[in-house]
Homo-oligomer: A and B are copies of this chain.
Amino acid sequence: MSKIAVIGAGSWGTAFAGLLAGEGKSVALWDRNPELIDAINTSHVNPRYLTDVRLPAAVKAVGDLSDAVVGADIVAMVVPSQAVRGVMEALAPSLRPGAIVVSLAKGLECGTLKRMTEIIRETAPAVTAAALSGPNHAEEVSHGIPSATVVASPDESAAKLLQEEFMTAAFRVYRNRDLVGVELAGATKNVIALAAGISDGLGFGDNAKASLITRGLAEMTRLGKVMGADPGTFAGLAGMGDLVATCTSRHSRNRAVGERLARGLTADEAQAELGMVAEGVKTAESVRDLALRERIEMPLSLSVYDVIYRGKDPRECVQDLMSRGPVEES
């Protein structure tokens, strides 16, 4: 049986560790917060995230990165994407060669515009990198409500191993060879989710949001194609599936931040109010940089950037978006 480490005890890391431990696997769950570690090991509840979920005793919280990953066959990275490089640099010396590091983080590194598996490969060249992404709100996965996801790796046997190790009766895992597409979809969809939240916050309805989701997926796919991804990935669970879940669910923190942007809060104020990081805020900047660099038309994502980083009035963005664009659908 594989030895598994989950790095990051936020809501998704906690749910994922619980999912695997529920199948009888031993899971080391690392976090930097010592109080959280003590609480998990004594009460089997994460005191900060998913506080209504009792974790199996097979989840052992660990405060030392090296202890968490030493000898691990599979390391799941579930820290915020801007923290992945630092955490990888710290744990890389303790990884055994041939280990699989699978990114569950959904973002792009600011400045470098790199995907998470690019960072993993740079910081730990001897491991196999992979990504897992899909419509997986932690609140539902942690309660055993049926969900599906996608794993991708350039190494097909690694993808198959992850599929076997992660699949449960209520958590269905599909393989996809398109690592670039799976990662880009997971990152870029958070920016569209901010737009969906803005739409909700402005009092618009399901018609407008469904239109926005549709046109959002079109621009995500345009970016993906230019970056070498398979458009089919964007039509699948890691693309459309995750986008729809994130834009429509009350569990989505990016959507929730968007609502608050529409109310006039800044992105920092909105995240502080929610007590969570919304990955889309940083990703809006990276997506804008990519769109400009690659000359890709991404009006929704650029509007979100303007709202967050240039203080543009969301109402004005909607006005622009409603009055622009092709009169023939394309």
Complex Cα spacing A244 to B244, Å: 7
Chain A 118-146 near chain B by CB (<8 Å), digits 1 or 0: 00000000000000001111011100011
Do B244 and A205 touch (CB < 8 A)?
no
B206→A150 contact, CB < 8 A: no
Interchain CB contact under 8 A, A206 and B140:
yes
- B residues near A206, Cβ cutoff 8 Å: 135, 137, 140, 245, 248-251
A164 nearest in chain B by CB position: B327
- The B-contacting residues of A in range 77-111, CB under 8 angstroms, are none
Residues on B with C-beta less than 8 A from A150 are 329
Partner of A217, one of B135, B209, B235: B235
A19 at the interface (CB under 8 A from B): no
- Cβ of A203: which chain B residues have Cβ within 8 Å of it? 145
Chain B hits for A235, CB < 8 A: 214, 217-218, 235
Our pick among B136, B172, B175, B214 for the contact of A237 (Cβ within 8 Å) is: B214
Say yes or no for A309: interface residue by CB 8 A criterion: no
> Copy number of this protein in the oligomer?
2
CB neighbours of A135 from chain B (8 A): 206-207, 210-211, 214
Please classify how large the interface on chain A is, using the bins under 10, 10 to 19, 20 to 34, 35 or more.
35 or more
User: Which residues of chain B come closer than 8 Å to A283, judged between CB atoms?
Assistant: none
A300 at the interface (CB under 8 A from B): no
Say yes or no: is A147 at the interface (Cβ < 8 Å to chain B).
yes
CB distance from A251 to the nearest CB of B (A): 7
Query: What separation, in Å, do the CA atoms of A150 and B208 have in the docked complex?
Result: 14
The answer to whether the Cβ of A236 comes within 8 Å of any Cβ in the partner chain is yes
Q: How far is the CA of A330 from the CA of B236 in the complex (A)?
A: 8
Q: Are A329 and B176 in contact (CB under 8 A)?
A: yes
Whether B146 contacts A236 by the Cβ 8 Å rule is: no
Question: Which of chain B's residues has its CB closest to A141's CB?
Answer: B207
- The complex places the Cα of A326 from the Cα of B175 at a distance, in Å, of 9
What is the distance, in angstroms, from A11's C-beta to the closest C-beta of chain B?
13
In the complex the two chains form, what is the Cα distance from A103 to B74 in whole Å?
A: 55
Tell me whether B318 and A207 are in contact (CB under 8 A).
no
- The answer, among B236, B318, B326, B330, for a CB contact under 8 Å with A214, is B236
Complex Cα distance, B205 from A249, in Å, reads 9
Q: Is A262 an interface residue (CB 8 A)?
A: no
In residues 7-60 of chain A, which contact B (Cβ within 8 Å)?
none
**Closest-CB distance, A138 to chain B (whole angstroms):** 10
- Which of B145, B218, B236, B326 interacts with A329 by CB under 8 Å? B236
Residues of B near A148 (CB, < 8 A) are 207-208, 211
Contact partner of A175 among B146, B147, B213, B328, CB < 8 A?
B328
Q: How far is the CA of A291 from the CA of B136 in the complex (A)?
A: 31
Q: Which residues on B sit within 8 Å (CB–CB) of A218? A: 235
> Are A145 and B205 in contact (CB-based, < 8 A)?
yes
Which residues of B sit under 8 angstroms from A238, Cβ to Cβ?
A: 329
Is B329's CB under 8 angstroms from A205's CB? no
Taking A176-B329, A244-B248 as known contacts, 5 extra A-B pairs with beta carbons closer than 8 A to each other, sorted by chain A number, are A207-B245, A210-B242, A211-B237, A211-B241, A236-B329
